[in-house]
Amino acid sequence: MDTEVLVIGSGLAGLMAADLLSAEKNVTIITKSALGKSNSRLAQGGIAAVTTSDDRWTHHFFDTIRAGGFHNNEELTELLVRKGPQQIQQLIEMGVRFDRNANGQYERCMEGAHSVPRILHSGGDATGKELVNTLISRVKDRCTILENHLAADLLIKENECYGALVMNETGETFTVSAAYTILATGGAGQLYSVTSNDSSVTGDGIAMAYRAGAILSDLEFMQFHPTMFAGAGSNSFLISEAVRGEGGMLLTRDGERLMEGIHDQLELAPRDVVAREIAKEESVVYLDISMIKRFHKRFPTIAKRCYQYGVDLDSGRIPVKAGAHFLMGGVVTDRYGRTSIPGLFALGEVANTGVHGANRLASNSLLEGVVFANESARWIMQSDRKWIPYFTENKRMKVSEYRLSIDRLREVMDRHVGISRSNEGLTTGISQLEWRGKFIEADTKEDVVHFNMLQTAWLMSTSAIMRTESRGGHFREDYPYQKQRFKQKRIIRRISQDDWIETEERSRAIFH
């Protein structure tokens, strides 16, 4: 099969790129499960942008880099926040309906580490669903769509990308040749037992890009969301930070305010700070929602899930715990989503544009998805990369024979590569996540996904052991402070090369 543009993944960034590019190019979307099943669809809080006269791009910029532990790529962060208002306008023109108040003005809410309320939302707490559904209705007749197909590996010849090896539901493989291949596969939350992420988010793009020889970085920075519902076992779902933005308070079992004396922004401190405080508590932590009027109306998705899980909202308290939420690191890209491999682009959570630094500011991820999809589409439209059919016979995907079960892998990640890390724990974890050894042919999509999870877990843990400091989402109990030596330094990973710790400038110099 041939196509000009191959988009792998169907979250917001992939759908946006597909929509824009389909105006001029032939686009194929490959998605592992149903179209649109992604983290984007689950996004509750909303999309951050400067849309009032009392806010400034500089305020949004500073909030972003302060939450990011000053690890951000400042040039691209400036681009992100400056483009915010224009992107909101584009989404409205595409048909997205943001919530308005009784006077017809857009409602803007507050979330952690923002200095002013600037989060636009849809359907109360169903922003991602509105965005994804709007884009699906636009792309479905304009692109070729392969649902329930897994991109198993990238097709690389002389360090250039020409598409992907794809597996169908029965495990048969075929190649899709493409002039431009866009990875938009999301992050890796499913590597942990408690996560807000969709079941399809298993680090596939990270592992594929690594095997292809792309440069990756910042994989030690995993964000844990402070307020996931604390049900029995791993039963959980997200309780949006917007609930704390509306006044929700974190209380200990004894009714004390958890964040008192910890941070001046209390419950709205950066997520890494709040998540660590919750994780430190030995007994259950509650989110007090008693002060939020008409909770069911403002947060219908959360109210429905609470009802399904038997939480009595009239009690005014929801038990919460932290869970894996967003991977800041990923495949290193420039402004146009270009990776270090010509022909290969990365967008959304799988990419590392550097705009989130070491810890993403709430509601900046949907914005990142649309801003960089636009930049990338613009670059691709004015380029004319030659499209070379990639011929291969009986290409089969090889996976490591030595594999932990997925449950065991999650236990290792929870225990050793979680909210709090140490040299000792990481060393133990890494020894259990080893994947190099004997290889066998993959028979099913599940075999490939399992291998991707293992490789991504290994990359994250081996990156975490190299960063002997604490910054943003990476907390080392044996090195609890930031170190000057690591300021603006990235841990760069590339297969078949020595891994290294280098500056942003050096990794950018490698780009074609």
The footprint of ligand SIN (CB under 6 A) covers 43-45, 240-242, 362-363, 365
Active-site residue (options: 108, 271, 338, 476): 271
| 322 vs 430 by CB, closer to ligand SIN | 322
Residue placing its CB nearer to ligand SIN in the complex, 42 or 331: 42
Show Cβ contacts of residue 342 under 8 Å, excluding neighbours closer than 6 positions: 159, 160, 161, 385, 512
Task: Name the residue among 477, 447, 378, 458 with its Cα closest to residue 216.
Answer: 458
Question: CB-wise, 353 or 365, nearer to ligand SIN?
Answer: 365
Query: Between residues 45 and 213, which has the closer beta carbon with respect to ligand SIN?
Result: 45
Q: Which is nearer to ligand SIN, 15 or 43 (CB)?
A: 43
Question: Could you tell me whether strands 173-183 and 2-8 are parallel, antiparallel, or unpaired per DSSP bridges?
Answer: parallel
Task: Quote the radius of gyration of the chain (alpha carbons, Å).
Answer: 22
Min dist. Cβ of residue 257 to ligand SIN (A)? 20
Chain residue at closest Cβ approach to ligand SIN? 45
* The 3-state secondary structure of 238-298, one letter per residue: ECCHHHHHCCCEEECCCCCECCCCCCCCHHHCCHHHHHHHHHHCCCCEEEECCCCCCHHHH
Kindly give the interhelix angle for 365-381 and 127-139, rounded to the nearest 10 degrees: 20
Question: Count of CB atoms within 10 A of residue 446's CB?
Answer: 12
Q: Is 271 known to be catalytic?
A: yes
Give the nearest distance from C-beta 161 to ligand SIN in angstroms.
Answer: 30
In whole angstroms, how close is the CB of 239 to ligand SIN at the nearest point? 8
CA–CA gap between residue 317 and residue 125 (Å, rounded): 18
Q: In whole angstroms, how far apart are CA 338 and each of 215, 221, 350?
A: 11, 21, 13
- Find the shortest distance in angstroms from Cβ 319 to ligand SIN: 17
- Provide the minimum distance between the beta carbon of 287 and ligand SIN in the complex, in angstroms, as a whole number: 12
Residue appearing with tokens 């007994």: 283
Active site amino acids = 271
